[in-house]
C-alpha cells in the first residue's frame, strides 16, 4: 500500500500519509496515485496544480469557491511547515461551521484532502513554506469567497496571534455574513 488514509473529526476531510522508501541516497514517495485515492473514496478529477511560497507568520484563508466551481483540494508541503485548516461551509450539513486542522510539513510528506464544500486556510509555522495543492476545479474569480480567519463563531485555534495577512483577507466578513455559503 502506498498511502494511509485517516478520516478526521469531519470525516469528509482526510489526512493522507504516503509510504516513503528511504536508503542512503535519500527517499522516494508517491504524492498521488489515482487508483489508491479512488479506493479511499477520493475520486474527483484534478484539473489544476498550484505552488505557493510564503514566509513565516503568513496566514492564508479562509477561502473556497461556490458551486458549480467548488474545489476539492489535496494540500501538501514541499518544504517547511504549516497549520492547515478546513471548515465545513455546506449550509445543509449538520457540521456547517465546524473546523479541523493538522500540521503538515515537508519532512513527513502528509497531505490533507479537503473536499468541495469546505473552506481552506493555513498558517506558516516555519521561516518559509512551499505549499503544493491539486484542485478539482479551475480557479474562478466570480465564484471565489472567503470569511475571516479569526471568526469567533467558527473558533479556529490558530497557532499564530498576529499573522501577516493579505489586504483581501483583512476585509473578509464573518462566515454567517456570507450571502451564499455553499461550496458544493
Closest CA relative to residue 62, chosen from 96, 82, 87, 83 = 87
Q: Cβ atoms within 10 A of the Cβ of 84, count?
A: 26
Could you tell me if 154 and 64 are in contact, meaning their C-beta atoms sit under 8 angstroms apart?
Answer: no
| Strand-pair partners of 85 | 101, 121
How many angstroms separate the CA atoms of 34 and 45, rounded?
9
Of 32, 122, 130, 133, the active-site residue reads: 133
Report d(CA 33, CA 50) in Å as an integer: 18
Of the residues 63, 122, 130, 139, only one is catalytic, namely 63
Angle of CA points 66, 169, 175, to nearest 5°: 50
Domains defined along the chain, listed by start: 46-176 (2.60.120.10)
Per-residue pLDDT of the chain (184 residues; tens, 9 = 90+): 699 999 999 999 999 999 999 999 999 999 999 999 999 999 999 999 999 999 999 999 999 999 999 999 999 999 999 999 999 999 999 999 999 999 999 999 999 999 999 999 999 999 999 999 999 999 999 999 999 999 999 999 999 999 999 999 999 999 999 865 544 4
Predicted TM-score (pTM) of the model is 0.94
Does residue 63 carry a catalytic annotation?
Answer: yes
Residue 120 designated active-site: no
Amino acid at each position: 500500500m502506498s498511502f494511509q488514509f485517516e478520516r478526521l473529526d469531519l470525516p469528509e476531510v482526510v489526512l493522507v500519509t504516503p509510504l516513503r522508501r528511504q536508503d542512503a541516497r535519500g527517499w522516494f514517495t508517491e504524492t498521488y496515485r489515482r487508483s489508491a485515492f479512488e479506493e479511499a473514496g477520493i475520486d474527483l478529477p484534478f484539473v489544476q496544480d498550484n505552488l505557493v511560497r510564503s514566509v513565516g507568520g503568513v496566514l492564508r484563508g479562509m477561502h473556497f469557491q461556490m458551486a458549480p466551481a467548488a474545489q476539492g483540494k489535496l494540500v501538501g508541503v514541499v518544504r517547511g511547515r504549516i497549520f492547515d485548516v478546513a471548515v465545513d461551509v455546506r449550509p445543509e450539513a449538520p457540521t456547517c461551521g465546524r473546523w479541523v486542522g493538522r500540521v503538515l510539513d515537508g519532512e513527513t510528506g502528509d497531505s490533507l484532502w479537503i473536499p468541495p464544500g469546505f473552506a481552506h486556510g493555513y498558517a506558516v509555522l516555519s521561516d518559509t513554506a512551499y505549499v503544493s495543492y491539486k484542485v478539482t476545479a479551475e480557479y474562478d474569480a466570480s465564484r471565489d469567497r472567503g470569511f475571516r480567519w479569526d471568526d469567533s463563531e467558527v473558533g479556529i485555534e490558530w497557532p499564530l496571534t498576529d499573522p501577516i495577512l493579505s489586504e483581501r483577507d483583512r476585509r473578509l466578513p464573518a462566515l454567517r455574513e456570507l450571502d451564499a455559503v455553499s461550496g458544493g
